[in-house]
Structure 1
Amino acid sequence: MPSTPVRDRLLLAGARLLEASDGGDVSTRAICELAGVQAPTLYHHFGSKQGLLDAVVSHGFRSFLTTQDDHRDGSDPIQQIREGWDRHIQFGLEHPTFYAYIYARVGQGTRCGVVTDVEAMLLKALKPAAQQGLLAIEPSDAAAEILAASSGVIMSLITDPEHGTDLRMSAHMRDAVLSAITANNDAHDEPASAATAVASAAISLSSVLDHAPDVLSPTEMALLRDWLMRLAAR
């Protein structure tokens, strides 16, 4: 691969070895040998072997999402979130070694870099729903809940060969999480509906303010955001 940029060679080598490892360890030496570089080159581009493998999985996940997004209808934010959940599940089932790697190498207080990337993607998808007043909780909290629940579903499915292709559990969990994070204005529960409506409105205004940072002074903006956060929390 002499004409391929060094960084891409390292990513390709890491991907091949990770896929072939079947859950086992991938050594720095093996990656460098396959890429035709020395270890300092890997550290220069990625900081560590962990950084390289995180980049491999993140790149694979982003590429997968790009191919899945070609024919999406962006008119319904909640449907986009629902479809995003399903794509996340699909990626985990189609790439179980990659996905298992994400959670097999983390420790107490240490997050895999890929998790941060996925949360950022979720936040981007949740913003339109927040701006339309469709969320009952802050987008950051919604993203964390979606990621925790969907990751748990994927790990359950890929470790259970007998039920690994049965997606009913995923659908049930998805709908339960969406029900919990979205505004629910059922007429039979007026007090809860009023509280949810106020929280949704506060979250919506907070999201819209991201696109109009100069409408208030910095002090006024900080005060307003504090009030909005309190209303959303209540």
Structure 2
Amino acid sequence: MRLEAITWERVAEAVADRALETDARDGGSWLRVGIDGAPAARGGELAGRIGAALRLRGRGSLVVGAGGFLRPASLRYEYGRSDPETYYSGWFDTGALWREVFGPLEAGGDGRVLPDLWDPVTDRATRSPRVELPRDGVLLLHGPFLLGHWFPFDLTVHVRLSEGALRRRTVDSERWTLPAFQRYEEEIRPGEAADALVRADDPRHPAWSGFR
């Protein structure tokens, strides 16, 4: 796959421009954009940049992190605190994401999204109020393993780190998660599944595929 050098600002602007040209696949009023990547890839920063670019274009947006939808510790740690298989398939409450984030944005929905559900520090519900995304607004959901759950995204970007870069940029206490990302790469092939791929091995000098 051919990639071209680009800046993060230009990536954000390109995604924002494509969002303005894209219609929701279900005919609804809201667009749903997924920014997929390991935590070390800093997809949340890109989501924030895209949100800012959308605001400059007069389009409302809401950034939501999948990390706010973890399952309770009793379920995440059922097989220990460092089990990569559970991290891959059991840490994130995908049912809650479907219900609380995507459900309100379906055609005929009310646009009132729950921005987060669970605080992993206190291991309690966050009780955050719902946020109403305006009509024609854009959801920007970022997090790992997003392309493996059939979420109804209208546009997707995968921020990729090579195996070596992922290892270097993952803190020591979280390196036990690395096999989960290897499995994701082998099973889902996110770089091919996403509408655009951004390579971020050097965070100062990203490269991307453009939209396919």
The TM tier, using the shorter chain, reads under 0.3
Q: TM-score, normalised by structure 1?
A: 0.25
Q: Which has the higher contact order (CA 8 A, sep 6+)?
A: 2
Q: Which has the higher strand share?
A: 2
Q: TM-score, normalised by structure 2?
A: 0.27
Q: Which has the higher helix share?
A: 1
